[in-house]
Amino acid sequence: MELSTLDYSFIVVFFSIVLFIGIYVSKKSGASSSEYFLSGRTMPWWLLGLSMVATTFSTDTPNLVTDIVRTNGVSGNWVWWAFLLTGLLTVFVYAKLWRKSNVNTDLEFYELRYGGKPASFLRKFRAVYLGVIFNVITMSAVTLAAIKIGGIMLGLEPWVTVVSAGLITVTFSALGGFKGVVYTDFLLFFVAMGGAIGAAYYLVNIPEVGGITALMANEHVADKLAIVPDFSNTNALITLFIIPLAVQWWSSWYPGAEPGGGGYIAQRMLAAKNENHAIGATFFFNIMHYALRPWPWILVALASLVVYPDIASIHEAFPNVAVDKLGHDLAYSAMLTKLPSGLLGLVLASLIAAYMSTISTQLNWGSSYIVYDFYKQQINPNASEKRLVAVGRLSTVVLMVFSAALALLLQNALQLFEVLLVFGAGTGLIFILRWFWWRINAWSEITAMFASGIVSIILKLTAVGPFLFAAETGVFPDWAEYPFVVVVTTVIWLTATYMTQPESKQVLQDFYKKIQPGGPGWSKVIKEAKDENVEIVNTKEKWSVPAGITAMLLGCVLIYSCMFATGYWIYGKTTSALILTAVAIVSGLLLARAWNKMKDHIL
């Protein structure tokens, strides 16, 4: 495939603008560690919201969605659509609490909520565990997608793609810090969305596909269109729908969708001007992430089934692709090779934008853990602000090198998606309860973290367990292990919680006084403080969680209705689309009323 001068012009201009932004903000970003990692906590909701959307618009996401649709149909996306419940719980309950904490990273929270050596160990260990290990794994999946796009569309060797894509990204990330990441995300969002929508429209209408009507009727596509799994297919219903909605969203830690908030989402909430800006940013992100953005990818995935009905047809069309990189996720890149000059340049720029946005965020976020939660805590507590920024920039480069090396060894994005989910299974409930139940302690989290990982590894190595029935069906075999890991991990950490001492009275009282989480789970702590004439309750602030849960439920109805309605409008099912559009409007009005009531609870 040959790129025209116009295509190259799009890409060169895009790269130039991104590098200019990184260099332009580098001086101010390097003034202090707070500026480098949180932009001085002055960011407005709309800019942070766009940044969240751009960040999760990674290069591997279209590939992952394509893999899911080709393997399990549109309804297979419930394995990540279910995370909306987590996202809206963060919006209406946890965003306020995170902004009140005023910590520099979500790991600093550990020494606010817990005390003593266990809290210190947990903070430092998770700085390495999440900031390095999980972060490198996540970035390698994104880089793997870039490798496949470079191989399919440009015929590049994997190492060429890694070096060329990574070099520019790590340069502006290291120079510009968080401000550079967020400012470039603003540009990257519009470029990425424009490219995805333009590609979907064009590819659905190429002669091989024949337009939306012909696509819907195609024999390879017709059985993939259902938005909800077939209830008569028990295996698919359980693994693709029931487990994600009933268990996964609250039980699993996954980057960008952590129960109770966390990771780079927490970083953006902590950078917001105030609590209302933190809430507005996360709500905007969830609307865009779930209701609107998936459909361009889904359409390209469905169209790919017409042009490349199986992996063999992809391999036949692109014989130069290494056998160990072949998979259904390649179909997205394969379809993009059919784009015309001009649009091809825009789409390539959009994919580069998606890659750079995700990687730059992961680099800055992971680096913040290394600097604040490991280097400053363990190595140099008296480090100057200049030294902290220097370590941040160095760790940014090191993380990029590690992730690029791992990407060269991987085969497909779905592998990592499943591994990350199973490794975090059973830990999510702690991240919810630690805000609202005084009895959760540092040992609860330490035990859950190790138990989840060890149980997952044992299942992988032994290939046994009561839930492995899906291994024969080809439907997400790792999901068969998921409930088992959740149950075992939960039993282990609950046992550890009751076998170890609770946090000290002083730690619990200080936490409650600062955060004001409220609820019956803190009644013991409140009573003890009252008996000792210690004032920890702010009587001017009402408990906002019940109102927040109401808003969360209304928000779920609103966003799922929008998502379903969009799909049915595309499918041409007008009656269903009109009904769901009406439901979305009504739920939106009710949510607006609930939000106005919630604001009365926010000081």
Highest mean pLDDT among 101-110, 298-307, 423-432: 298-307
DSSP string, 566-596: HHHHHHT-HHHHHHHHHHHHHHHHHHHHHHH
Percent of the chain whose pLDDT exceeds 90? 23
DSSP one-letter string for 72-108 = H-GGGGHHHHTTHHHHHHIIIIIHHHHHHH--SSTTT
Return the exposure string of 112-144: e unless at least 16 CB atoms fall within 10 Å of the residue's CB, then b.
bbbbeebbbebbbbbbbbbbbebbbbbbbbbbb
- Asked whether residue 564 carries a pLDDT value surpassing 80, the answer given is yes
Q: Residue 255 — left, alpha, or beta (φ > 0 → left; ψ -120 to 50 → alpha)?
A: beta
What is the per-residue pLDDT across 352-377, written as a single tens digit (0 to 9) for each? 777 777 788 788 888 888 888 888 88
User: How high is the pLDDT of residue 438?
Assistant: 95
| pLDDT tens readout for residues 67-77 | 999 988 998 88
Full set of structural domains in the chain with CATH? 1-22+44-411 (1.20.1730.10), 425-503 (no CATH)
Q: Cα–Cα distances in Å, from 97 out to 102, 261, 545?
A: 9, 10, 11
Q: Which of 184-193, 207-216, 313-322, 470-479 has the lowest mean pLDDT?
A: 470-479
Is residue 340 very low, low, confident or very high in pLDDT (cuts 50, 70, 90)? confident
Q: Rounded to an integer, what is the distance from CA 375 to the centroid of its chain?
A: 26
From 414, 522, 368, 341, select the one nearest 68 (Cα to Cα): 414
- Return the pLDDT at 469: 34
Runs of H (alpha helix) within 503-573 = 505-515, 523-531, 545-571
Burial 418-453 (b: 16+ CB within 10 A, else e): bebbbbbbbbbbbbbbbbbbbbbbbbbbbbbbbbbb
Q: Quick one: pLDDT band at residue 566, thresholds 50, 70, 90?
A: very high
Question: What pTM was computed for the model?
Answer: 0.80
Integer CA distances (angstroms), 239 to 223, 235, 481, in order: 18, 6, 10
Distance CA 261, CA 250 (A): 11
Nearest partner of 92 among 522, 555, 561, 559, judged by Cα: 555
Pick from 123, 127, 137: which is nearest to 60 by CA?
A: 137
